[in-house]
Structure 1
Amino acid sequence: MTQYDRQTKIVIALGSNLGDCSANLEQAVRKMEAFFGAPLVCSSVYRSEPVEVRDQPWFLNQVAYFETDAPLPPLVILKNLKAIEAQMGRIPGARYGPRLIDLDLLFYGDWVLETANLTVPHPKLEERSFVLMPLVEILPDFIHPRTGIPLTEILEQNRPRLARCERMVQ
């Protein structure tokens, strides 16, 4: 059995804190679906306080995934996520600062990958309530490939020190 003989979950985090944040998330999902040629399973939208750079508007965040039996290489996915950000008007700015849209590759199936441009699983996801909460909502049984720990357990272990995050009423 090769890596392409089974479905691979491609999991992406979305965030926005400039402009019409809800519309930004919706537009990013549509663009990713068009690019990947597959519908995305999306979490609810969450409102979260900023981390790292605190003096900025709160974010709207979401996690989405799709499954494929013929995944594109991770660096191709990253390149296209960055292209979608640019198409939507994201201008490079301060790291962790305000942004129109932010798209991060969180998981690429059960791969563990470290390159100069990409680390998968995303290296900071255990520190981010705005990633863990929507992940647990849509993938409660997913096992973190690097640690072997279920996401639900990672969320519970880290909850006391995570930034505020709340699920939006839809």
Structure 2
Amino acid sequence: MNIENQVVLGLGGNMGNRTQYLAFAMVQIIQQIGPITKVSSVYETAAWGNKDQPAFLNIAICISTPFTPLQTLERCLRIEKQMGRHRTIKWGPRIIDIDILLYNNQIVRDKNLSVPHPMMHERRFVLEPLAEILPKKEHPILKKTFKELLQSCPDLLTVKPFFNPFDTNQ
């Protein structure tokens, strides 16, 4: 039996051709993990944590996958590596970052993976795209919708729409 799991991924990057890297990562996700079912607009965001670096482009996507949380993580890390991601500086510049934000409504605590992402409710660059595509979905632990979490988010860093890949008027 092929069980489909609903997963939300956050993608971001601030090196090179940011839009091209996001698009390439999404193609790899489709090929290696599963089909994309929802896509947010792309947001340009100030760097979080290590602020002395270029702005990021961020996006949230929903996917369907037969893989377990750890298998999904393995594949996300493989895609990052294939794209040239090197983990050297915490919160530093990167070609691509793929985070598992949600996995069904499960709570996963493993030495290599925490789902829901433990800091997502404190990061505007995660909540803006999430609230766009899943405004009424509740955080599995905090029991608040993503729209509510965005409204009460303490992060004041700039997050602005960059483009909507499905807007034909642009």
Superposed, which structure 2 residues align to 1:151-170 within 5 Å?
151-158=146-153, 161-170=155-164
Task: Determine whether 1:12 maps to 2:9.
Answer: yes
In the TM superposition, what is the alpha-carbon distance from 1:133 to its structure 2 partner? 0.4
TM-score calculated relative to the size of structure 2: 0.90
Deviation at 1:5, TM superposition (A): 9.9
Matched to 1:72, the amino acid is F
**Structure 2 counterpart of 1:163, one-letter code:** L
Is contact 2:34-2:64 (8 Å) kept? no
Matched residue count: 164
**CA contact 2:101–2:117 (8 Å) conserved in 1:** yes
1:150 matched to 2:109? The reply is no
**Partner residue of 2:56?**
59
TM-score, scaled to structure 1: 0.90
Q: Percent identity?
A: 37
Whole-Å Cα distance in 1 between the matches of residues 88 and 4 of structure 2? Answer: 36
Q: Distance in 2 between matches of 1:76 and 1:5?
A: 15
List aligned pairs for 1:23-102, cutoff 5 A. Answer: 23-68=20-65, 71-102=66-97
More helix by share: 1
Over the residues paired in the alignment, what is the CA RMSD in angstroms? 1.7
**Cα deviation per residue 1:105-153 (whole Å; 9 max; x = unaligned)?**
0000100111111100000101111110000111111110011111110
Q: Which runs of 5+ in 1 are unaligned?
A: none
- 1:161 maps to a residue whose letter is D
Find the residue that maps to 1:111 and give its secondary structure: coil
Matching residue within 107, 130, 134 for 2:129: 134
Amino acid at match of 1:147: L
In 1, are the aligned partners of 2:9 and 2:62 still within 8 Å (CA)?
Answer: yes
CA distance in 1, matches of 2:45, 2:68: 31
Which structure shows the bigger proportion of residues in strand conformation? 2
Aligned residue number for residue 120 of structure 1: 115
